[in-house]
Amino acid sequence: MKDFFISYNKADRQWAEWIAWQLEEAGHSVVIQCWDFLPGCNFVLEMHEAAKAAERTIGVLSPNFLASMFAQQEFAAALVRDPTGEKRKLLLIRVQDCQPDGLLAAINYLDLVGLDEDAARKKILAVAGGKRLKPSSQPGFPSTHAEMQGPRFPGALPPIWNVPHLRNPNFTGREQMLNDLHAVLNSGQTASWLQALTGLGGKGKTTLAREFAYRYQADYDLIWWVRAEEPASITMDYAGLAAALGLPKMDSPDQVVNAVKGWLGQNRKWLLIFDNAQDPDALNRFLPQGGGGHVLITSRNPNWGSLASLLPVDVFEPTEAVDFIRRRTNQDDHSSAQALATETGRLPLALEQAGAYIKESGIKLSDYLARFRKNRAEILKRGKPTDYLDTVATTWNISFQAVRTKSPAGADLLVLCSFLAPDDIPRSMIAAGAEHFPEPLASAAADELELDSAMAELRRYSLITGVGDNFSMHQLVQVVVRSWLAKDELKKWSAASLDMLNGAFQFDENSQKSWEECAPLLLHALACAGYAEVHGVASEIIAEILNNAGSYQRHFADFDEAKSCFERALAIDEKAFGQEHPSVARDVNNLGAVLQDLGDLAGAKRCYERSIRILQKFLGDDHPLTKKAKANLDALDSQKF
């Protein structure tokens, strides 16, 4: 006969093993599924025989246990053997907050909820009927051994642990990503033990890795955080790990690295986190060649495919972003949270920075939103995030300066793209517009291989993303990049983007192919025209682009947006040329056409008549443009007012 059979739900296995270990260490005999039931056995029969052959049954009481069909059968069998409870055949040990009902409600349970390991052990052994095993001095958790000598007390950190910072209490979302990461690391597939979390600085890679370490700490006996920016910092953290492992002192850094790699290759249940790694080749020499552990890498560089499996980290999902900012600020302003999520592009660092600013200044979420809209670049430099070393602006400035050092053309390309719409930027448009750029970007854009190199350097820091002809740039990266430019630089790059778009965003109104080719350029045309207006660049080119944009929108029946473009173009040309000029006539005629589309026939008539007067004055009655304007008016007059 065994002294105890331990009944538990699989979700409480760690508790069950810990209880079983304490009992056997105290001299009791135990039957527990995860130790005693061999693969291929009849599970139900084994459970029945074990419960029948043990003097007492222990139920590991939790919500999972109460919901388990098999657990109910096991404690029912114990109750049949001792219906009055005199022999104490059934011992319930509560490990999570729950309320037993039915027959279990009448049975007193041993409560471990809220106890530390020593107190929990003493209570179990006392109730089990053994000696009190109280040591002469207070026992402590193991701190110098890599492998635990038994199951760890649930909730206790691994004996070797150096994860920086406490667990983030505001961590929100990412559930699917965490679950997928845990699943793939434990899948047993080739190279699945080594995963790289990649993405733009500020997307939360480090926070995600830290949350993984805390959430799954029970899976490991060793979790070690390695600062991976430089080989020197990796070597220093390996030296710390060697000391924690109790390895002999060595004469050289290389010996330390090799000793740690050797230990990892021979042991299991460890997790290494290489944070902010830069270069796969530089990191490769520090990685163990085997063992029963896992490696997580966080990096802005997406080029880890030859070394690790990739898990790109993106911005928050819309609901995650809203939940995070409401939780971070303790303000239940859903509409402002939703608007701020949109304004920040759902970037985790920007939202954390917003939360820190709101908490520090004591303002409302709606007030921060108004400040952000008014002065984005400046506010992105303020509000020190709690769980980050740097603000958004500082984080990206470090990357930008690194790019500037290695690829001046790449840095210039990033600046140019900050004057465009953030998504679907055509590489082909950049190449075709080379003549409009200052050096060194002009030469790089005109050379296929040099442009490859410039873009590769930006991809290395995830400052741009995407494959094929189109790539993207986060909207806040654009804001921050523009904030670094002096006034003359703003004007120079705004003009370059405007000239590029003016050359690209041209179409033949009678060609469907031409309309289709211009479709990807519309948002970029509107963006660069807007920046050019702000910085006072080439007004006549702005007006031309806006007229083309309005014509495109009108062609696809987006009449309100077309009207806005024509009105902006008209205001620009009137300011540049006065009330009477052929360019003004063009703008007024286009505006009349869209007013006619919108049903404002009186407004359309006034526009057509004004256009005809200007064209007659400058071009005469027989000019094709004058005749076309008159034809528009005649067609309008045929309609009933």
Q: Are residues 404 and 341 in the same domain?
A: no
User: Residue 148 falls within a domain, yes or no?
Assistant: no
Amino acid found at 501: L
Quick one: average pLDDT of 360-369?
90
- Total-model pTM: 0.67
Q: Are residues 494 and 463 in the same domain?
A: yes
Report the percentage of the chain scoring pLDDT > 70. Answer: 89
Q: Are residues 506 and 404 in the same domain?
A: yes
Domain boundary residue among 389, 408, 425? 389
Amino acid 137: pLDDT: 40
The CATH number that applies at residue 599 is 1.25.40.10
The CATH number that applies at residue 438 is 1.10.10
Amino acid 404: pLDDT: 93
How would residue 44 be classed by pLDDT, with cut points 50, 70 and 90?
low
User: Residue 32 falls within a domain, yes or no?
Assistant: yes
What is d(CA 261, CA 295) in angstroms, rounded to the nearest whole number?
A: 12
Q: Are residues 177 and 286 in the same domain?
A: yes
Amino acid 485: pLDDT: 92
User: Residue 399 falls within a domain, yes or no?
Assistant: yes
Report the percentage of the chain scoring pLDDT > 90. Answer: 44
Give the model confidence (pLDDT) of 475-514 as tens digits: 989 999 998 999 999 999 999 999 999 999 887 777 777 7
User: Residue 78 falls within a domain, yes or no?
Assistant: yes
Amino acid 139: pLDDT: 38
Phi, psi at residue 426, to the nearest 5°? -75, 125
Give the model confidence (pLDDT) of 151-208 as tens digits: 777 778 899 999 988 888 888 888 889 999 998 988 877 778 899 999 988 888 999 9
Q: Are residues 30 and 165 in the same domain?
A: no
Please say if the pLDDT value at position 49 is more than 90: no
190 vs 117: which has the higher pLDDT: 117
Domain boundary residue among 369, 389, 409? 389
Neighbour-count burial for 491-513, b at 16+ CB within 10 Å, e otherwise: bbbbbbbbbbbbebbebeeeeee
How would residue 140 be classed by pLDDT, with cut points 50, 70 and 90?
very low
309 vs 98: which has the higher pLDDT: 309
Q: Are residues 295 and 174 in the same domain?
A: yes
Q: Are residues 287 and 331 in the same domain?
A: no
What one-character-per-residue DSSP string does 2-64 give? EEEEEE--GGGHHHHHHHHHHHHHTT--EEEHHHHPPTTS-HHHHHHHHHHHEEEEEEEESHH
Amino acid 146: pLDDT: 42
Q: Are residues 306 and 170 in the same domain?
A: yes
Please say if the pLDDT value at position 143 is more than 70: no
Q: Are residues 372 and 438 in the same domain?
A: no
Question: The tokens of 549 are what?
Answer: 């944009």
Q: Are residues 308 and 373 in the same domain?
A: no
Total number of domains constituting the chain: 5
What is d(CA 419, CA 104) in angstroms, rounded to the nearest whole number?
A: 68
User: Residue 106 falls within a domain, yes or no?
Assistant: yes
User: Residue 141 falls within a domain, yes or no?
Assistant: no
Phi, psi at residue 290, to the nearest 5°? 180, -150
User: Residue 429 falls within a domain, yes or no?
Assistant: yes
459 vs 74: which has the higher pLDDT: 459
Give the model confidence (pLDDT) of 577-634 as tens digits: 999 999 999 999 999 999 999 989 999 999 999 999 999 988 888 888 888 888 888 8
Q: Please give the DSSP secondary-structure letter assigned to residue 519.
A: G
The CATH number that applies at residue 272 is 3.40.50.300
Quick one: average pLDDT of 546-554?
91
Amino acid 208: pLDDT: 94
User: Residue 237 falls within a domain, yes or no?
Assistant: yes
Range of the domain at 74: 2-128
Domain boundary residue among 295, 312, 329? 312
- In this structure, of 130-134, 281-285, 367-371, 515-519, the range with the lowest mean pLDDT score is 130-134
Q: Are residues 364 and 405 in the same domain?
A: no
Q: Are residues 116 and 39 in the same domain?
A: yes
What is d(CA 307, CA 284) in angstroms, rounded to the nearest whole number?
A: 8
